[in-house]
Structure 1
Amino acid sequence: MKKPTSIVRRTPVPASSSTPVVTPLMPSVVYRSETPDALDAQYEGQASGYTYAREGHPNADVLAAKIDMLEGAEGGLITGSGMAAVTAVMMGLLKAGDHVLGGNQLYGRCLRMMAEELPRLGIATSLADPTDAAAMKAAIRPETRLILIEAVSNPTLRIADLDAIAEIAKEAGALLVVDNTFTTPRALKPFDHGADIVIHSVTKLLAGHSDVTLGYVATRDPELRAQIAVTAITLGLTPSPFDCWLAERGLHSFELRFDRAQSNAARLADALAAHPAVAHVLYPGRADHPDHASVAPLFGGQGGNMVSFVLKGGRAEANALTKAAPQIAFAPTLGDVATTLSHPASSSHRALTPGGREALGITEGFFRVSVGIEDPDLLIEEFTAALDAVAG
């Protein structure tokens, strides 16, 4: 390594005959080129490399390649958040006059995008029940360009009729976009069921530690990928290299975390269902789930790590529950190594009217649990004690 000539100038990385085991964190915003011709070669696709971090950086590409492997995809794109992935798809592929059909139990911010953001840009939207293929088909219009569904809805845990909706989209010439955040590729690979585009909030189970905010989008058609990528770059939907580095580290334990959390969720769901303070429980792995018949063919029998339940009572009982469970984080997130408890009426779906929430079954007593990897006996003990306090 040459001796530096100035303290303010960058020093090249020392050469080494060995390589690091851990992916290096590369936070550089810009990359130097030798000549204008060399820079042209990169932009024109004749040479690979990086120029400006908003247009791509190594940590994002390493992370994308690993999620691609899980999803059976190629050329996945990392974005700054899950909603950034949704935005890149919508803004990259839609125009005024198009119509988007969404599942009626999408994540709250997706519902807001459908209700407010897209219509003001001249893009028509409507919602239908994704568990009812006939309802989805009836909602298709001649100008329908895209269908957006979650494989498992947030927070009601209903299961979309994915194969049927894929056929409907194909017949209509519409793109099928599947949010695979809840299910993850451990339980479902949407491309195997006819999806055209798959999105994730990497923030959740894939990263798994509540310390990054990232999204992911992959397409079956490379031309769609190019359109989405240009939009993401233009709108600045850029992921942080540090977040990408952390998420890659989280992915190394993803399968172990998923399996343990899923096992815990199945036990917790049964314990909640047996408690007299609980009106009912929603868990895809239970035989009393309304879509339980779809779990085996679609998810290979995987029930996932998410459990929802409804308390007997309303807001007063909801407040009592969170106060009685101080060791369980009351936080509007999911996919952490530790169990978290959220109340959709006051968080993810607060923008809906009370009537709109009621129509989805989201009452003041409705809770969503993202089950973590703790000792399952401890989890059941804590929830039982909290529910006993509510009942008392």
Structure 2
Amino acid sequence: MRNSKGSLIRPTSLPESASRPVVTPLSPSVVYASETPDALDAQYEGRVHGYTYSREGHPNADVVAARLDAMEGMPGGVVTASGMAAVSAVLLGLLKTGDHVIGGKQLYGRSLRLMAEDLPRLGIRTSLADPGNVDAVRAEIRPDTRLLLVEAVSNPTLNVADIHGLAALCKEHGLLLAVDNTFTTPRGFRPFDHGADIVIHSITKLLAGHSDVMLGYVVARDPALNERLRVFNVTTGLTPSPFDCWLAERGMLSFELRFDRAQQTAAALADHLAALPGVARVIYPMRTDHPDHDRAVALLGARGCNMVSFELNGGRAAANAFTRAADGLSFAPTLGDVGTTLSHPASSSHRALTPENREALGLREGFFRVSVGLEDADTLKRVFSDAVAAAMAG
């Protein structure tokens, strides 16, 4: 098509340049033009690399995938539109009607909902078990069990899975071990080094780090599984936005610095909270009073990550008073931001569970999850001291 001056509306090529951009260009184009049908065949048949339609892949997603592939030490990863899209790609893309899957009983709330409601509706049977107890997981294995999904460190109770024991169990029974590594990140833990078959991330969280991106990632040890995950992602439209990928790459450039700073502050905040009157318990993997402390040290070394959970005395009334008094902290159902955020599982991530089920998980009304950001440790200690005191006074 020509405009009034007779020139083509779409240029046939970009301006030539003897230099290259330092920053990855944003590529929002939905479609890509090929020179000939033969050239398009070569792309689809894998003889040359190229892009066709952004649902099938685009440059910004490939840049992010390559970075995470290098961080996890496994090629072939797929970037998805969200962390839950990555979880769904594993459970729906690799399982079929009649299969059985075991999940850790303290998975993220939406993962639990997927296991409890959606998979059974499609004829995929599910059960839950404590990932810190290999015998409990073993008791749930059936002839049709195909996969075990766990979090290295659980959300939000920070229990540490027995990854070594679970990897041996899965190998013994021919099961796939999928590990959600969102909390720990590759900086804290690399599941493939410990026997995992599949690794999942919510890039939205600490990897991107600025609460302005919605992305996920999944990669498998077996290239054939990666291809199945890729095809499922394309077919079901779990495609990530180029802009979100562009933002995520920018965030990932500072990821290691942010992770180290936040986890150092988290350790100091955990010890501070434990000494405050009105705090019933504090959960942080590097504290010696954590029930999985020895396992945490064996898996994570000194990297306890940036998440701290604690419980206030006083239930919901204390929880409301605490959030009102936590001046400058965002009460929001997220984690991994540059700023410290507070999450209340009973009213957010795990609200769909019955009170009895939340009680069984230890998620009482006074329970909070803290995602520690980049603030000065002394400043955070002061804010938390004032907020806890206000909660107890209220």
Q: TM-score, normalised by structure 1?
A: 0.98
The residue type equivalent to 2:79 in the other structure is I
Deviations 1:211-256 (A, max 9, x none): 0000000110000011111111010001000100110111110000
Counterpart of 2:337 in structure 1 is 336
1:103 CA drift (Å): 0.2
Counterpart of 1:48 in structure 2 is 49
Q: d(CA) in 1 for partners of 2:353 and 2:6? A: 61
1:10 CA drift (Å): 3.5
Q: d(CA) in 1 for partners of 2:298 and 2:283? A: 19
Conserved in 1, the CA contact under 8 Å of 2:327 and 2:383? no
Counterpart of 2:114 in structure 1 is 113
Aligned length: 389
Q: Aligned to 2:155, what secondary structure does the other structure show?
A: coil
Q: d(CA) in 1 for partners of 2:357 and 2:175? A: 27
Q: Aligned to 1:321, what secondary structure does the other structure show?
A: helix
Q: d(CA) in 2 for partners of 1:7 and 1:335? A: 46
Q: d(CA) in 2 for partners of 1:38 and 1:5? A: 28
Equivalent residue runs for 1:36-185 within 5 Å: 36-185=37-186
1:262 CA drift (Å): 0.3
Counterpart of 1:206 in structure 2 is 207
Counterpart of 2:234 in structure 1 is 233
Structure 2 residue 280 is the aligned partner of structure 1 residue 248:
no
Q: Aligned to 2:51, what secondary structure does the other structure show?
A: coil
Q: Aligned to 2:32, what secondary structure does the other structure show?
A: coil
Deviations 1:266-294 (A, max 9, x none): 11101110001100000001110110001
1:40 CA drift (Å): 1.1
Q: d(CA) in 2 for partners of 1:11 and 1:27? A: 17
Q: Aligned to 2:317, what secondary structure does the other structure show?
A: helix
Q: d(CA) in 2 for partners of 1:92 and 1:222? A: 14
Structure 2 residue 392 is the aligned partner of structure 1 residue 386:
no
Structure 2 residue 369 is the aligned partner of structure 1 residue 371:
no
Q: Aligned to 1:263, what secondary structure does the other structure show?
A: helix
The residue type equivalent to 2:122 in the other structure is L
Counterpart of 1:290 in structure 2 is 291
Deviations 1:1-35 (A, max 9, x none): xxx95373236321111111111110100000011
1:41 CA drift (Å): 1.1
Deviations 1:111-160 (A, max 9, x none): 00000000000000000001111101111111110000000000000000
Structure 2 residue 279 is the aligned partner of structure 1 residue 278:
yes
Q: TM-score, normalised by structure 2?
A: 0.97
The residue type equivalent to 1:352 in the other structure is L
1:343 CA drift (Å): 0.1
Q: Aligned to 2:149, what secondary structure does the other structure show?
A: strand
The residue type equivalent to 2:101 in the other structure is V
Deviations 1:164-217 (A, max 9, x none): 000111111110000000000001100011100000000001000000000000
Counterpart of 1:187 in structure 2 is 188
The residue type equivalent to 1:377 in the other structure is D
Moved more, 98-107 or 136-145: 136-145
Q: d(CA) in 1 for partners of 2:285 and 2:359? A: 21
Q: Aligned to 1:176, what secondary structure does the other structure show?
A: strand
Q: d(CA) in 1 for partners of 2:387 and 2:346? A: 20
Q: d(CA) in 1 for partners of 2:118 and 2:83? A: 16
Q: Aligned to 1:119, what secondary structure does the other structure show?
A: helix
The residue type equivalent to 2:102 in the other structure is L
Q: Aligned to 1:272, what secondary structure does the other structure show?
A: helix
Structure 2 residue 38 is the aligned partner of structure 1 residue 32:
no
The residue type equivalent to 2:85 in the other structure is A
Counterpart of 1:355 in structure 2 is 356
Q: Aligned to 1:125, what secondary structure does the other structure show?
A: strand
Deviations 1:33-83 (A, max 9, x none): 011111111111111100000000000001100011110010110000000
Q: d(CA) in 2 for partners of 1:14 and 1:277? A: 65
Q: Aligned to 2:168, what secondary structure does the other structure show?
A: helix
Q: Aligned to 1:139, what secondary structure does the other structure show?
A: coil
Q: d(CA) in 1 for partners of 2:359 and 2:92? A: 31
Q: Aligned to 2:390, what secondary structure does the other structure show?
A: helix
Counterpart of 1:259 in structure 2 is 260
Q: d(CA) in 1 for partners of 2:190 and 2:143? A: 29
Q: Aligned to 1:146, what secondary structure does the other structure show?
A: strand
Q: d(CA) in 2 for partners of 1:382 and 1:301? A: 26
Conserved in 1, the CA contact under 8 Å of 2:99 and 2:146? yes
Q: Aligned to 1:78, what secondary structure does the other structure show?
A: strand
Q: Aligned to 1:102, what secondary structure does the other structure show?
A: strand
RMSD across aligned positions (CA): 1.0
Deviations 1:311-356 (A, max 9, x none): 0011111100000113100000000000000000000000101011
The residue type equivalent to 2:340 in the other structure is T
Counterpart of 1:219 in structure 2 is 220
Instruction: Determine what percentage of the aligned residue pairs are the same residue.
Output: 68
The residue type equivalent to 1:63 in the other structure is V
Conserved in 1, the CA contact under 8 Å of 2:314 and 2:392? no
